Each structure stands twice: as structure tokens, then as C-alpha cells.
């Protein structure tokens, strides 16, 4: 046990002290803090964005007075100004950039307003969209007044319809509940995905490094390969924990420090408040199971490589598995009840993500959860046993490598004959 913690400590501290780790963590933290401050940064850049000034020429002289009313032009951010004079001189004003544009309103055959808009530059998302809306509004007001409908009636017609939903099955989650846990499920999926990609790679590289520098033979003559392997997995887990705590902590404080209102909103949107506490326990359980499953796989694959350059090639299958799991889970967020999701929630490599998704999004019986966890635990045990064999042979195996065929060679090497 002593040796186990010696290896854990060595794995952890040699990584934590490494420049690469410190720099990566610092950069990621900077990005997180940057993202948390994004609204204020954007505001800083758009502060010079003043409202547009548009000249209006109105033959009928009725419409222009409407345009000054808040109900029609309010919120569009455009100030309309009446122009007395010729069209030519108005256009000249715009060309001289005294005004942003010129709007000429005429009356069509139905006695309703229509307009022409002149500006130095017309861009697709520019102010003409807003001007079109203003004109539309103007047309509605003028039109309804023409036909004698008063504003109140109009408002009643345009008010949004109400639809009350109620589920008759009590065990099903309400839409509200589902929305709440969706955020948490998504966070857990993403964190597990990143963890497997980043730290799985780290474990495989670490093992391969010790092998390629040939220090491995010395290590496993002091401590059993299986001790070494699990100490490595735990050591990297602590490393991951350290990094996640730094990043989450940094992010949390960045959000809180910058906008008090934003923090609350952020967590509410992400569905991180008002969740059933049990779901957090499940999140941790499935996260740990997922980590150990993939970490064991990574250590096993890493032990097959003799050169660090081959690590990426060999852990490709593992990466594919986690990518497939993530895609399945992301799809499942919108259709958690589909057969595919139900089936894949029992397949070990997908279960950590997909079973948790089902727990979060649906109300599923406890035996289903227990079954999925049992399958996972058994698979991890089986993989650990296999990985220990492969590891024992793999770490002594040198030469050309880079394919899964080496798996068989490694097992043969660890056998008695």
C-alpha cells in the first residue's frame, strides 16, 4: 500500500510541477474568465453604437406624426426627423453623411403607406430591417383606423394564445423538471467527455513515457504491475481533480465578481439549481465509473506502445468510443425515451453518459439503474484483470508497435508459456 501511494504521489507531483500543466491550466482559466466577462467586453466595444438619424419626407403629412409616437418607432433605435425641401437636397444631406438615411413615404392605391429608403450603404442586417418593421407597424395602425377597428381590439387579437399542459402519468417528469436537469446532464456529459479525452491521453502517454525511457522494468521489479497501473490511474485522477477545481473555482469567482445578477441567471439557465440532490450523487457515481473504465483502457493501450509517437494511434479506438458515446448522449437529450437510448444505457462504454442522461431526463425504476451500474462495475473489473495481464507483458515488450495485434502478444508474454 505504501508503494501504491508513493507511485500516486510521484505521478501527481511530477505532473503538477510540470510547466506544460501550469501553462495549460493558466490559459484555460484565462479563457474561462474571458468568457465570463464576455457581456461586459462586448458592451465595451459597442458603446459607441449611437442611434440612427433618418430623414423623413412625407407627401401626405399624416404618417410623419405617427413616426414620432413611441408605440410605432419606439425600441427601433432610430430617430426620425422631418425634412422640408426637395428630394435632391435631402439625398445630398445623406451623401454628406449628416444623416444615416432618407425615407420617403408615399400612399399606394389602397390608401396605405409604402416607402423608399436611401442610404449610402445598404447592408443586409442594417437599419432597413428596422425601418421595414416600423413601416409595417405604421401600415397596421393606419389600416385598422381606416376600417374602424380601435387599438384595444387589435391588441386583444394579437395577444399570444395560452396553452396549459398537464401530464396524467405522475411518474413522468414534467417539462419543467426536464429542463432543469437537462443543464446538469449536459454539464456532466461534457465534463466526462473532456476528462476521458484529456486525462485518458495523459495516462497512456505517462505509461508510454516510462516504457520508452526503460525505467519501467525497474519500477515493476519494485512494485507489481497492477499496483503500478492503478496508482497511475489514481494519480492522474487527483491531477484532474486539481485542474477542475482550479478551473471551476476560477470560473465561479469570475462570474460572481463581475455581475451579481449574471451568476444566478447562469446557474438557473444551466439547470444547476433546484435539482433533486440524488441526481448529484448519480452524477458523481457515473462520472467515476466512466473515468475508471476509460482510464483502465488507456493504461492498457499505453502499455503496448514502445514509442510515445505511437500513443495517439493506439488510443484511437478509445477516443472513437467516447466520441460515439457523446454523440449518442447529445442526441438523446431531445429523445431520452427512444429505444436506442434505452439499449445503449446498458452497454458499458456508453452507460456512464447515457444511463445518467436517462436518470436525469426520465423517471426510471431503480432496478434499471442498479443493473446498469452492475454491468459497469463488472466490466471495469474484467477490464482491470485483462489490463493487468496486458500491462505485465506489454511493459516488457519492445520493438515495432502501434496496432491492437500487440494486445495478443502482450498477453502471451505474461502467460506461463
CB of 295 to another protein, least distance (A): 21
List the one residue from 46, 123, 165, 221 that touches another protein (CB under 8 A). 221
| Among the listed residues 15, 384, 396, the one whose alpha carbon sits nearest the alpha carbon of residue 203 | 15
222 touches another protein by CB under 8 A: yes
Question: Could you tell me which stretch among 281-289, 296-304, 369-377, 409-417 binds another protein (CB under 8 A)?
Answer: 409-417
CB of 209 to another protein, least distance (A): 8
Matching residue, cell 477490464: 383
Distance, in Å, from the CA atom of 128 to the CA atom of 255, rounded to the nearest integer, reads 36
Shorter beta-carbon distance to another protein: residue 168 or 218: 218
Interface of this chain with another protein, residues 111 to 140, rule: CB under 8 A: none
For the record, the C-alpha cell of 246 comes out as: 482550479
91 touches another protein by CB under 8 A: no
219 touches another protein by CB under 8 A: yes
Distance, in Å, from the CA atom of 251 to the CA atom of 35, rounded to the nearest integer, reads 9
Give Cβ neighbours of residue 366 (< 8 Å, ≥ 6 apart). Answer: none
223 touches another protein by CB under 8 A: yes
| 3-state percent breakdown (helix, strand, coil) of the chain, nearest 5 | 70, 5, 25
Are the C-beta atoms of residues 251 and 36 closer than 8 Å to each other? Answer: yes
Count of residues in contact with another protein, rule CB under 8 A: 28
Give 240-246 contacts, CB < 8 A, sequence gap 24+.
240/195, 240/198, 240/199, 240/291, 242/16, 243/21, 243/25, 244/191, 244/195, 246/25, 246/29
Shorter beta-carbon distance to another protein: residue 235 or 251: 235
List the one residue from 103, 184, 220, 318 that touches another protein (CB under 8 A). 220
396 touches another protein by CB under 8 A: yes
List the one residue from 215, 269, 320, 327 that touches another protein (CB under 8 A). 215
List the one residue from 157, 161, 218, 366 that touches another protein (CB under 8 A). 218
What's the longest Cα–Cα distance across the chain?
104
312 touches another protein by CB under 8 A: no
Site residues, another protein (CB under 8 A)? 2-3, 6-7, 10, 14, 210, 213-224, 392, 396, 398, 412-417
Amino acid at each position: 500500500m505504501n508503494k501504491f501511494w508513493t507511485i500516486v504521489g510521484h505521478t501527481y507531483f511530477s505532473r503538477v510541477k510540470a510547466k506544460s500543466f501550469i501553462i495549460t491550466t493558466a490559459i484555460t482559466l484565462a479563457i474561462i474568465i474571458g468568457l465570463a466577462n464576455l457581456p461586459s467586453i462586448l458592451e465595451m466595444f459597442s458603446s459607441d453604437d449611437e442611434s440612427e438619424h433618418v430623414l423623413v419626407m412625407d407627401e401626405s403629412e399624416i404618417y410623419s406624426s405617427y413616426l414620432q409616437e413611441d408605440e410605432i418607432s419606439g425600441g427601433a433605435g432610430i430617430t426620425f426627423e422631418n425634412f422640408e425641401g426637395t428630394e435632391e437636397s435631402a439625398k445630398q444631406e445623406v451623401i454628406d453623411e449628416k444623416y444615416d438615411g432618407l425615407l420617403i413615404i408615399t400612399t399606394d392605391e389602397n390608401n396605405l403607406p409604402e416607402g423608399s429608403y436611401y442610404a449610402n450603404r445598404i447592408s443586409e442586417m442594417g437599419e432597413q430591417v428596422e425601418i421595414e418593421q416600423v413601416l409595417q407597424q405604421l401600415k397596421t395602425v393606419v389600416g385598422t383606423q381606416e376600417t374602424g377597428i380601435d387599438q384595444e381590439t387589435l391588441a386583444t387579437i394579437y395577444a399570444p394564445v395560452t396553452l396549459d399542459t398537464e401530464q396524467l402519468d405522475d411518474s413522468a417528469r414534467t417539462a419543467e423538471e426536464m429542463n432543469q436537469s437537462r443543464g446538469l446532464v449536459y454539464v456532466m456529459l461534457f465534463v466526462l467527455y473532456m476528462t476521458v479525452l484529456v486525462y485518458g491521453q495523459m495516462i497512456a502517454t505517462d505509461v508510454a513515457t516510462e516504457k520508452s525511457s526503460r525505467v519501467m522494468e525497474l519500477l515493476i521489479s519494485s512494485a507489481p504491475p497492477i499496483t503500478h497501473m492503478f496508482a497511475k490511474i489514481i494519480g492522474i485522477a487527483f491531477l484532474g481533480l486539481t485542474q477542475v477545481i482550479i478551473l471551476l473555482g476560477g470560473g465561479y469567482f469570475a462570474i460572481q465578481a463581475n455581475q451579481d445578477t449574471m451568476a444566478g441567471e447562469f446557474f438557473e439557465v444551466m439547470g444547476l439549481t433546484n435539482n433533486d440532490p440524488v441526481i448529484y450523487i448519480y452524477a458523481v457515481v457515473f462520472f467515476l465509473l466512466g473515468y475508471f473504465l476509460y482510464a483502465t483502457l488507456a493504461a492498457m493501450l499505453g502499455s503496448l506502445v514502445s514509442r510515445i509517437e505511437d500513443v495517439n494511434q493506439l488510443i484511437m479506438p478509445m477516443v472513437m468510443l467516447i466520441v460515439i458515446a457523446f454523440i449518442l448522449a447529445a442526441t438523446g437529450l431531445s429523445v431520452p425515451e427512444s429505444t436506442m437510448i434505452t439499449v445503449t444505457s446498458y452497454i458499458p462504454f456508453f452507460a456512464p453518459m447515457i444511463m445518467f442522461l436517462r436518470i436525469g431526463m426520465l423517471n426510471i425504476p431503480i432496478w434499471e439503474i442498479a443493473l446498469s451500474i452492475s454491468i459497469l462495475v463488472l466490466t471495469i473489473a474484467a477490464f482491470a484483470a485483462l489490463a493487468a495481464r496486458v500491462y505485465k507483458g506489454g511493459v516488457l515488450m519492445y520493438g515495432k508497435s502501434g496496432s491492437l495485434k500487440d494486445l495478443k502478444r502482450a498477453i502471451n508474454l505474461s502467460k506461463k508459456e
